[in-house]
Amino acid sequence: MTAWSMLQLSEYFSAITRAGDVAAAARIAVQQATEATDAELGAVIFGDSLGASVGLGRSPDPVVFTGVRSGTETSTFPGVGDAYVSVFALGEAGERLLVARTDEAFGPDERQMLQGMAKVLGLALRSLRTLAAEQQLRHDREREAESRLVLLQALERRERLLETLLRVQRAAGQGAPLGDLLDSITAGARRLLDDDGVAALVMHDLTDPAQLTVASVAGDTSAGRDAVLQAARRAITAGCTVAEGELAAAPVHIGDRVAGAFVVAGPGGDVRDSERRDVLAAFSEQASLALTGAHTQAAMHEAHHDPLTRLPNRALFLQRVEQVLAEETGAALLYLDLDLFKQVNDTLGHAAGDELLRGVADRLSASVRDTDMAARFGGDEFAVLLEPISSELEAWEIAHRVIDAISEPFDIAGRAVLTRASVGIAYSGAGRTAEHLVEDADLAMYRAKKTKPGTCRAFEPVMRTELLRPAC
């Protein structure tokens, strides 16, 4: 979606959420939709009745609009003639948003924008109707205090949903980085569920489209990552929302193509099924808008790679480690820290330091195997996942190959610059997590750096005890 359409969608969202009732929301929605697409005609349709319309006067024959069904591409209107038509469901049975114009058919970006408008309108209408029902119940005093409290809590959650979506839209309109935007979407969805819930965006892997990878997650998936991926695959295959037990998933699109799925999981707590469906529908749509707004999957690559060295970043690296640990194929993790890097920065400047980091990344990638993954964690710290590993000796050989390659002089700004790498090694095993493996390799690296810089050490459990021992 283009930047201008995202901004219009944000303005439209703000306008309809301030509407006082269903009729006012419908009028605002159809006016905004026709203006955004330069359409001559528009209508919000409730079953066989007309909620609001523009283009055919104050009291048009409802049949002119209600007779146009989803999937219709053209239709004839009195006083206008033949026109191109786009119709989008609002969520409730028979309710839809219709726009029509005579000059040209609606393009993919416009249809994506109109679909987003319809989703937001559907949420707003449901919220307004719930509020009207509560007001009527209060007036009639037919509801017990406990039931009123439950409904009020539901209304508060719906209000938080609308507020969260508005924040996401504003961030998108301000050009927030894609990675940050996706994280805000998953975090926002989880906040609207319960403390034990999970919200995850699952995408096709860029290097192997047959595989799925978690692009963003809020909540702990360590015990149920496979279930999340399976739910995502079912939604992708079905092309529609699927639900089973505590898991529900909806497809996510880049343009007209299914690119992944948005998954919510958890016991639900006080959140009702209808609200969970609304959260899933709203945030899967927001993820689609964010991904489409990025235009290409190159932005997904940028979100998971270090911009200086082009190596995978910490988040992508840890995802891969978790996947390998789940497969139990045998793996090792190298954690590297450069010695003398600060001296290079201080004496030759940060530009020279950046060039040195790029050179180290190149040599690191050249020293490991095609099946291994090298990553930059930030600063002068790097990591390598060695997979598969047949023996500890094999990991040692690769670690020494890395150390030897990095110890050779670098040509930086016409000068020979020396650095060296201290390396820690940790091995996979039962019950290990990616974070634990990184921590263990980091401890081993620290021991190597402290005892003899430019060498490698393998992790030993006693290292944890020695780290906590007070200094003499």
pLDDT in tens, 33-76: 998 899 999 999 999 899 999 999 988 999 999 999 888 899 99
Q: Are 11 and 36 in contact (CB under 8 A)?
A: no
Question: Tell me: the pLDDT tens digits for 77-130?
Answer: 999 999 999 999 998 778 999 999 999 999 988 888 888 889 888 888 888 888
The pLDDT of residue 271 is above 60: no
Q: In the CATH hierarchy, which fold is given to the domain comprising 170-301?
A: Beta-Lactamase (3.30.450)
Question: Which pair of structure tokens corresponds to residue 257?
Answer: 């193509």
d(CA 128, CA 174): 29
With residue 262 as reference, give the H or E element that holds it: strand 257-265
3-state secondary structure of 431: coil
Return the CATH number of the domain spanning residue range 314-468. 3.30.70.270
The pLDDT of residue 158 is above 70: no
pLDDT top residue among 9 and 181: 181
Average pLDDT of the residues in 227-248: 89
For the chain, the structural domain boundaries read 3-127, 170-301, 314-468
What is the predicted pLDDT for the residue at 304?
Answer: 77
The pLDDT of residue 448 is above 90: yes
Whether 3-127 shares its CATH topology with 314-468 is answered no
Phi, then psi, of 232 in degrees rounded to 5:
-60, -45
d(CA 154, CA 148): 10
| Listed range (157-161, 328-332, 460-464) with the worst mean pLDDT | 157-161
CATH of range 3-127; options 2.40.70.10, 3.30.450.40, 2.40.50.140, 1.10.8.60: 3.30.450.40
The pLDDT of residue 312 is above 70: yes
